[in-house]
Chain A
Amino acid sequence: MTSDSATRRPVGYGTLVAVWAALLLLTAATVFVTRLDLGGYKVAAALAIASLKGGLVIAFFMHMRYEGWLLRGLLFLALATLALFIGITFFDVLYR
């Protein structure tokens, strides 16, 4: 493993503050967009923005961007499992 954090270069304060500013902008955007009358697209827009925000938190605040293949692979596995649960549940609920 090359990702020994004890010796890794720290993430700069500037990068962290920029990510925080992006998260606040996305929060404002999601509140604004969901006030509009978009019908079914409202749910899609809200979830897309939430996923983007979640991705920023995981990549920068949780350092996943700087981690090795093991943690990245396990994260993918966990999210794929969740997606599978959601997919199979709705395959049942929608076509019952």
Chain B
Amino acid sequence: MSHAPHRDYAGAKLGMWLFLFTEMLLFGGLFILYAVYLHRYPGEFAAAGHRLDLVLGTANTVILLTSSLLAAMAVTAVQRGEGRIAVLALGGAVLCAGGFLAIKYAEWSVKFSHGIYPGSPSLVAGPPGESVFFGLYYLTTGLHGLHVLIGGVLLAVVALRVKGGRIHAGDHIWLENGALYWHLVDLVWIFIFPLYYLML
């Protein structure tokens, strides 16, 4: 006696979306903190914000938008039975994740070498608004960077499963949910970018 494996595609996707809503509220909370402290220390936030590297921030925006396109194309490719294209697209997205983290690492390293890190002597001695800004900057981009790392690993696992034939047109919830997670990572950065790099 053989049973068809139980599949609930709509339920699996609903569960993923519910998780993504909690993620939106998590980062939303950090954005509210940012907004309240911007209201309290407008001058110090502007001065500190101008010390972030706009070129690197813009490069990372372009990288994440492109990786999101690749993840979305991978879903289409698997639905059309074009597994090879899906693996290539996912590989590209994982490379983008690596590139994003490399740039973030370089950005943080330069800040660290200038003595800007949570609890550093120069921040402690400086105005309170400045240390609040950089505290929120490290917390928000650090938490986002952790999501990039997790999303990159997830997409790599999904790519291997597509290659191995375990994800295909008839059963690709892993791919679709993995791509949804990756798009959320992109979505969060779409708001981090103007808040920290642009509008101050």
Q: Chain A: residues with CB nearer than 8 A to chain B?
A: 1, 3-6, 8, 10-13, 16-17, 19-20, 23-24, 27, 30-31, 34, 42-43, 46-47, 49-50, 53-54, 57-58, 60-63, 70-71, 74-75, 78-79, 81-82, 85-86, 89-90, 93-94
Tell whether, in the assembled complex, residue A5 and residue B193 are in contact, meaning their CB atoms are under 8 Å apart.
no
Tell whether, in the assembled complex, residue B187 and residue A24 are in contact, meaning their CB atoms are under 8 Å apart.
no
Tell whether, in the assembled complex, residue B75 and residue A82 are in contact, meaning their CB atoms are under 8 Å apart.
no
- Give A6 to B10 CA distance when docked, in angstroms: 9
Number of interface residues of B (CB under 8 A): 46
Sample (21) of A-B pairs whose CB atoms are under 8 Å apart: A4-B10, A6-B171, A17-B69, A20-B69, A27-B65, A30-B198, A46-B199, A47-B194, A50-B193, A57-B68, A57-B187, A61-B69, A61-B72, A62-B180, A70-B14, A71-B13, A71-B14, A79-B24, A86-B32, A90-B36, A93-B39
Chain B nearest Cβ from A16, distance in angstroms: 5
Tell whether, in the assembled complex, residue B21 and residue A74 are in contact, meaning their CB atoms are under 8 Å apart.
yes
- Give A23 to B110 CA distance when docked, in angstroms: 29
Does B35 count as interface, using CB distance less than 8 angstroms?
yes
Does B28 count as interface, using CB distance less than 8 angstroms?
yes
Q: With a CB–CB cut-off of 8 A, which chain A residues contact B80?
A: 10
Tell whether, in the assembled complex, residue B65 and residue A74 are in contact, meaning their CB atoms are under 8 Å apart.
no
Tell whether, in the assembled complex, residue B28 and residue A23 are in contact, meaning their CB atoms are under 8 Å apart.
no
Chain B nearest Cβ from A53, distance in angstroms: 5
Tell whether, in the assembled complex, residue B190 and residue A71 are in contact, meaning their CB atoms are under 8 Å apart.
no
Q: Chain B: residues with CB nearer than 8 A to chain A?
A: 9-10, 13-14, 17-18, 21, 24-25, 28-29, 32, 35-36, 39, 54, 58, 61-62, 65-66, 68-69, 71-73, 75-76, 79-80, 170-172, 176, 179-180, 183, 186-187, 190-191, 193-195, 198-199
Chain B nearest Cβ from A10, distance in angstroms: 4
> In chain B, what residue has the closest Cβ to A16?
B72
Q: With a CB–CB cut-off of 8 A, which chain A residues contact B180?
A: 62
Tell whether, in the assembled complex, residue B191 and residue A50 are in contact, meaning their CB atoms are under 8 Å apart.
yes
